[in-house]
């Protein structure tokens, strides 16, 4: 049960790669001292007298963004699930299990900015504001382009605007390179992406409106979950067998699921994916965390779905 709750919590969205995101821990320049006023994802006006130098991140995706734009040295606190990049492990853990954060620890860190994300309810933002903290709510993006905008926003909040702009330019070029190969294709393999099979008779998959769905489609596949209702939908074994995917991706590999275990489930030996040995473990963080590694996920998916077209 905990596994399912954790996966669903981390997967809130309404998406090893060819060129992984590079994280620079060393600031390339001192942030410029200028006041900042932005409107956040809750429609609130948030003002800083200068770029934030002490940031607490409440979401793994936010932590990844902060490090990716060069603001890693400015992060003084992070949620317990922030495990990327490796350097994040040295930052103080402020909780977050089941949505419970150590508010006293956050206050003690004296942050000049708390960066909340889509997994955080507005009530938490209000509680932190009530403690005298400045909180910016970074909304969940629905597209890669909206993700790029989030990178630029975090760059502005931390005085890393030039680094964020360079990162967006690089990510945009990488996505364009995938698009150039995929768009002319007429063949799109059918894909079943598994999020959680705690109940193997009714596993979870990415439905329409998720980055899992968006990235599979953009990588040149047809996501059978796109036909289901709900963003994180359950699929029956009967429908899975009827849809007969040619490729199966195990996003729950981190929880111990393997191609062998999948093939051993009742009825799965009838799938083309199993017959042809096309059941693959996949790092779900690359499609469930709305940060720059979504582009890593797109590249990894494209290589799996069309291996002959990508080196």
The CATH number of residue 270's host domain is 3.40.50.1980
Point out which residues pair with 280 in neighbouring strands: 249
Q: Which domain holds residue 40?
A: 15-175
Domain count for the chain, please give it. Answer: 2
- Tell me: do 69 and 138 sit in the same domain: yes
Whether the CB-CB separation of 63 and 79 falls below 8 Å is answered with: yes
Residue 237 in tokens: 């074994």
3-state secondary structure of 61: helix
Q: Please, how many CA atoms are within 13 Å of residue 125, restricted to the half-sphere of its CB?
A: 20
- Going residue by residue through the chain (311 aa), what tens digit of pLDDT does each one get? 434 434 444 443 333 333 333 334 334 444 446 899 999 999 999 999 999 999 999 999 999 999 999 999 999 999 999 999 999 999 999 999 988 999 999 999 999 999 999 999 999 999 999 999 999 999 999 999 999 999 999 999 999 999 999 999 999 999 999 999 999 999 999 999 999 999 999 999 999 999 999 999 999 999 999 999 989 899 999 999 999 999 999 999 999 999 999 999 999 999 999 999 999 999 999 999 999 999 999 999 999 999 999 87
Backbone angles phi, psi at 285, to 5 degrees: -60, -25
151 and 221 share one domain: no
Q: How far apart are the first and last CA of the chain?
A: 39
pLDDT more than 90, % of the chain = 87
pLDDT score for 183: 96
161/239 same-domain check = no
* Beta partners for residue 226, in sequence order: none
With 0-12 / 13-18 / 19 or more C-beta atoms within 10 angstroms meaning exposed / middle / buried, residue 92 is middle
Note whether 26 and 147 are same-domain residues.
yes
Alpha-carbon distances, residue 290 vs 32, 107, 220, 299, 308 (angstroms) = 27, 26, 20, 15, 28
Check: CB of residue 39 under 8 Å from CB of residue 46.
Answer: yes
The 10s digit of each residue's pLDDT in 19-67 is 333 334 334 444 446 899 999 999 999 999 999 999 999 999 999 999 9
3-state SS, residue 297: helix
DSSP, collapsed to helix, strand or coil, labels residue 222 as: strand
- DSSP symbol at 20: P
Rg (CA), the chain: 20
Does 154 lie in the same domain as 203? no
Are 217 and 100 contained in the same domain? no
Task: Note whether 162 and 212 are same-domain residues.
Answer: no
Q: Are residues 32 and 104 in the same domain?
A: yes
Q: How far is CA 176 from CA 41, 165, 203, 295, 298, in A?
A: 27, 16, 33, 10, 11
Instruction: Classify residue 9: in a domain, yes or no.
Output: no
35 shares its domain with 166: yes
Residue 228 included in any domain = yes
pLDDT for the residue numbered 14: 34
pTM comes to 0.88
In a shared domain, residues 149 and 199: no
Query: Facing residues of 55 across strands?
Result: 75, 113
Whether residue 82 contacts residue 88, with contact meaning beta carbons closer than 8 Å, is answered with yes
Asked if residue 220 and residue 137 are part of one domain, the reply reads: no
- Whether 182 is in a domain gets the answer no
Same domain, 163 and 36: yes
Residue 181, in any domain of the structure: no
Give dist(CA 230, CA 209) in Å, integer.
Answer: 8
Predicted confidence at residue 34, as pLDDT, reads 82
Distances (CA, A) of 245 to 81, 133, 228, 267, 287: 32, 49, 15, 13, 19
Residue 216 inside a domain? The answer is yes
């Amino acid at each position: 049960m905990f596994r399912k709750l954790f996966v669903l919590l981390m997967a809130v969205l309404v998406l090893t790669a060819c060129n992984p995101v590079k994280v620079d821990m060393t600031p390339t320049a001192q942030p410029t001292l200028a006041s900042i006023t932005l409107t956040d994802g809750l429609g609130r006006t948030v003002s800083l007298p200068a770029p934030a130098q002490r940031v607490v991140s409440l979401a793994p995706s936010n932590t990844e963004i902060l490090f990716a734009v060069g603001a890693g040295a400015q992060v003084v606190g992070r949620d317990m699930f922030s495990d990327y990049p490796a350097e994040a492990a040295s930052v103080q853990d402020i909780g977050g299990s089941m949505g419970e954060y150590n508010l006293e620890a956050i206050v003690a860190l004296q942050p000049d900015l708390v960066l909340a994300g889509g997994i955080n309810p507005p009530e938490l933002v209000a509680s932190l504001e009530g403690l005298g903290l400045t909180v910016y709510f970074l909304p969940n993006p629905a597209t890669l382009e909206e993700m790029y905008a989030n990178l630029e926003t975090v760059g502005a909040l931390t005085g890393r605007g030039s680094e964020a702009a360079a990162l967006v330019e690089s990510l945009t070029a990488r996505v364009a390179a995938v698009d150039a190969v995929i768009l002319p294709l007429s063949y799109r393999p059918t894909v079943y992406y598994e999020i959680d099979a705690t109940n193997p008779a009714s596993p979870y998959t990415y439905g329409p409106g998720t980055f899992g769905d968006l990235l599979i489609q953009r990588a040149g596949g047809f996501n059978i979950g796109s036909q289901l209702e709900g963003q994180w939908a359950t699929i029956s074994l009967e429908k899975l067998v009827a849809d007969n995917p040619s490729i199966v991706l195990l996003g729950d590999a981190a929880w111990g699921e393997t191609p062998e275990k999948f093939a051993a489930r009742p009825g799965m030996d009838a799938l083309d994916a199993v017959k042809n040995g096309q059941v693959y473990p996949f790092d779900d963080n690359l499609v469930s965390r709305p940060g720059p590694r979504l582009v890593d996920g797109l590249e990894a998916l494209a290589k799996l779905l069309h291996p002959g077209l990508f080196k």
